[in-house]
Amino acid sequence: MTPVVAVRDLRKVYQLGDTEVAALRGVDLTIEPGEFIAVMGPSGSGKSTFMHIVGLLDAPTAGTYAFEGTDASNLDADARADIRSRRLGFVFQAYNLLPRTSALENVELPMVYSGVPEAERRRIALEKMEIVGIAHLAKHHPNQMSGGQQQRVAIARSLVNNPGLILADEPTGALDTATSLEVMRLFARLNAEAGITIMLVTHEPDIAAHARRTVAFRDGLVVGDAPNRERAA
């Protein structure tokens, strides 16, 4: 089976004035279809840079990155954007919802960019909202919803194009403990029942514990990679 993500000797160097900063210093990592992986590390460890490259938001300086078997190492911005719109879903800490737009319309948004007809967009969006338990909030605007409900809207939005990979960047960072637990149980259910491949970026061990595997970054390198023997309930 073709890996969803396969990186080899991945490197990223940023130029800050006259100084070069090596954010990634030779990362090897594979994510197989159906995995739920947590990427952990302190600030400056390279985990966010890694997520940006995997999410085709940035390009590596050196090394190779294959996404679903396609060499994505040297794609131009348009080609990266095309794959992002078709095969990747994103969930961020800040939700990134349009404030003057209903929950349903927020969920539909990726399909607008993909050219999906309106009736089909509406059907798919409602289906995904039902899956994450917020179909009854379809007409609500973000300011009428709790943080947990807004994050469920964002998760539904990430599902509409049936992505090969969902990237969740600190998705519980703005939520209280109880709501964080609900959101992580939702991710675990989407992975277990629908087989959705998920890469979660977090600095919190109790959040990472919900994944099936944890990869630890430090100083631009992978320093740990092991299955989670006892997943959080």
- 150-171 pLDDT tens trace: 999 999 999 999 999 999 999 9
What does the pLDDT read at residue 105?
96
pLDDT score, position 233: 56
| pLDDT tens track for 99-150 | 999 999 999 999 988 889 999 999 999 999 999 999 999 999 999 999 999 9
Please report, rounded to a whole number, the percentage of residues in the chain having pLDDT higher than 90. Answer: 86
Q: For 11-35, how does the pLDDT look when each residue is reduced to its tens digit (9 = 90+)?
A: 999 988 889 999 999 999 999 999 9
Mean pLDDT of the chain: 94
Q: What is the pLDDT of residues 46-58, one digit of tens each?
A: 999 999 999 999 9
- Say what the pLDDT of residue 229 is: 79
- State the pLDDT at residue 115: 86
Residue 209 in contact with residue 178, Cβ under 8 Å? no
pLDDT at 18: 87
Per CATH, the homologous superfamily of domain 5-227 is: P-loop containing nucleotide triphosphate hydrolases (3.40.50.300)
Task: Mean pLDDT check: name the lowest of 75-89, 152-166, 205-219.
Answer: 75-89
203 close to 40: Cβ distance less than 8 angstroms: yes
What pTM value is reported for the model?
0.94
Q: What pLDDT shows up at residue 5?
A: 98
The answer to whether residues 175 and 100 touch, using CB atoms and an 8 Å cutoff, is: no
In this predicted structure, what is the pLDDT of residue 232? 61
Share above pLDDT 70 across residues of the chain, in percent, rounded to a whole number: 98
Three-state secondary structure call for residue 198:
strand
Per-residue confidence (pLDDT) for residue 129, from 0 to 100: 97
Sheet containing strand 62-67, edge to edge, reads 19-31, 5-16, 62-67, 70-71
SS3 180: helix
Rg of the Cα atoms in the chain = 18
CB-based contact 29:37 (threshold 8 Å): no
- pLDDT(231) > 80: no
The Cα–Cα gap between 80 and 75 comes to 6
pLDDT given for residue 130 in this prediction: 96
pLDDT on residue 230: 66
